[in-house]
Amino acid sequence: MTATQSPNPLPTGSDISLPWHLRLPKALEKDFRLYFRASVAKVAPGAFLLIGILLACAMLVESVVGDEIIAHSWRPRLFTLMITGGCLLLARNPRGREWLHPATLTLGLAIASTGNYLGYTISHPLSYTFFLHTPIAVIMICTLIRVPFYQALGGSLIMIGALGVTLFMDPSRVEFEPLTLMLVTLAFSSMSLFGQYVYERLLRQHFLSEHVLFQHRDELHSANLILENQATVDGMTGCINRRGMESRLNHLYHLLQKQSPDAPERVTLMLFDIDFFKQYNDTYGHPAGDECLKKVASVPLSMVQAEKDFVARYGGEEFVIVLTDSSFNDALVFAERMRNRVEQLGLPHSGSRISQVVTISVGVACSDGQADNGAELLKLADEALYQAKGAGRNRVALMSNQGLVEMLN
């Protein structure tokens, strides 16, 4: 790479251009709708509460202006207040937020229709102000409670069309009043819709950026898992390697010492190795020795089931099994079954001094005893394994809680 060259940065989503119509691929469009709805749901309850207060204030003003006006307006106002209350309940209920945008459009149409009805039926010098409900409703769905652009556009066209029909059907309107009201409505509506278009475009760009960054994080996490797996798993046997074993064992002891809710009741460690494995390699060769290690390791791997339990290759022909939340007696049964299953594999071993097949010797120790950490527990199991070998091999020895080694009959 030359001095004038710079490394290509990872895409962040900000460099992705959106089409003018804002539409994303089908899968992304579905996710964006959920993202959009979640962003609106945070402010919707307060917005609906504000609308309810404004409607109540409108009723108060109308009652002051004249009894005839409130006599005409209280029923439509009450109707819109009920719809506002229903929208507020939907906004507060996570399950009801799916209907938040249709309910907002319904409320906008109700407010606009109420204004048209009152402006058409009430005869008063200020009755034209009722027709301003339509631009107010458009501002509400575009700015106060943001509805997706295309839904807002459709709803706005319906409300503006209904306003135009109502205005030009009313013969009592003063000259130029319908045209003035329509121009005012179109001005407010066009600005509100343009603002909603820009807002949604920016929100979609932000959504794409988060989506791309999430993919990067997911890929990085997967790569880290692969690296961690490569760093802590023995490639030949599929068991955890020594480094991974020490890390997990120390973590279990840490949970025990901190009395964490996730801590196991106890930790039981088994250390075993293959009897006379050096002679096996000398007799059959190292490739055969590797196959022997794989087959022997498959026995405890098939027996371990609990999530926190694991099998590790400690080194050479030595393996460690760690059991959690198992009683000491259950662990001893596990060790004896494992020893017996390895013997039942029937792997020929003419170099063994105790059998014609491959066998193992096992040492068992438990955290209920004298071990204060993973290293001490491993040392106790190693002492038990040493005694098992001294007693003739192909057997299980345990370190009791009193610090004495006993042979399992």
pLDDT value of residue 15:
55
* Most confident stretch, 176-180, 222-226, 229-233: 176-180
pLDDT value of residue 2:
46
Q: Are residues 358 and 267 in the same domain?
A: yes
* Most confident stretch, 172-186, 199-213, 354-368: 354-368
**The last residue of a domain, from among 198, 213, 228:** 213
CA-CA distance, 117 to 130, in Å (whole number)?
8
How would residue 235 be classed by pLDDT, with cut points 50, 70 and 90? confident
With 80 as the cut, is the pLDDT of residue 198 above it? yes
Q: Are residues 40 and 182 in the same domain?
A: yes
Q: Is residue 169 part of a domain?
A: yes
Q: Is residue 36 part of a domain?
A: yes
Q: Is residue 133 part of a domain?
A: yes
pLDDT (tens digit per residue) in 314-373: 988 999 999 988 888 999 999 999 999 999 999 999 999 999 999 999 999 998 877 888
Q: Answer whether 320's CB lies under 8 Å from 335's CB.
A: no
Q: Strand pairing of 318-324 and 310-315? A: antiparallel
With 60 as the cut, is the pLDDT of residue 275 above it? yes
How would residue 162 be classed by pLDDT, with cut points 50, 70 and 90? very high
Q: Answer whether 237's CB lies under 8 Å from 222's CB.
A: no
Q: Are residues 97 and 204 in the same domain?
A: yes
pLDDT value of residue 169:
84
Q: Is the dihedral of CA 326, 244, 359, 296 positive or negative?
A: positive
Whole-model pTM? 0.53
pLDDT (tens digit per residue) in 17-37: 677 778 877 878 888 888 888
pLDDT value of residue 230:
61
With 50 as the cut, is the pLDDT of residue 3 above it? no
Strand order in the sheet with 267-274: 310-315, 318-324, 267-274, 360-366, 396-399, 405-407
Q: Is residue 219 part of a domain?
A: no
Q: Mean of the per-residue pLDDT values for the chain?
A: 87
pLDDT (tens digit per residue) in 61-82: 988 888 888 888 899 999 999 9
Q: Is residue 221 part of a domain?
A: no
Compare 164 and 12 and report the one with higher pLDDT.
164
pLDDT (tens digit per residue) in 78-110: 999 999 999 999 888 888 888 889 999 999 999
Domain count, the chain: 2
With 80 as the cut, is the pLDDT of residue 170 above it? no
Q: Are residues 267 and 202 in the same domain?
A: no
Q: Are residues 199 and 323 in the same domain?
A: no
CA-CA distance, 207 to 18, in Å (whole number)?
12
Q: Are residues 262 and 208 in the same domain?
A: no
Q: Which residue segment(s) compose the domain that 155 sits in?
A: 26-213
How would residue 14 be classed by pLDDT, with cut points 50, 70 and 90? low
Q: Is residue 267 part of a domain?
A: yes
CA-CA distance, 97 to 241, in Å (whole number)?
50
Q: Are residues 160 and 250 in the same domain?
A: no
Q: Are residues 144 and 246 in the same domain?
A: no
Average pLDDT over residues 46-58: 92
Q: Are residues 205 and 254 in the same domain?
A: no
Distances in Å between the Cα of 70 and the Cα atoms of 65, 75, 122, 139, 215 are 8, 9, 10, 25, 58
Q: Are residues 266 and 316 in the same domain?
A: yes
Distances in Å between the Cα of 74 and the Cα atoms of 52, 82, 85, 95 are 14, 12, 16, 32
How would residue 1 be classed by pLDDT, with cut points 50, 70 and 90? very low
Q: Are residues 260 and 118 in the same domain?
A: no
Q: Answer whether 334's CB lies under 8 Å from 347's CB.
A: no
Q: Are residues 107 and 45 in the same domain?
A: yes
Average pLDDT over residues 263-290: 92
pLDDT value of residue 128:
86
CA-CA distance, 232 to 238, in Å (whole number)?
10
**The last residue of a domain, from among 195, 213, 231:** 213
Q: Is residue 170 part of a domain?
A: yes
Average pLDDT over residues 213-242: 75
Q: Answer whether 184's CB lies under 8 Å from 130's CB.
A: no
Q: Is residue 18 part of a domain?
A: no
The CATH number given to whatever domain includes residue 340 is 3.30.70.270
Q: And the tokens for 6?
A: 């710079």
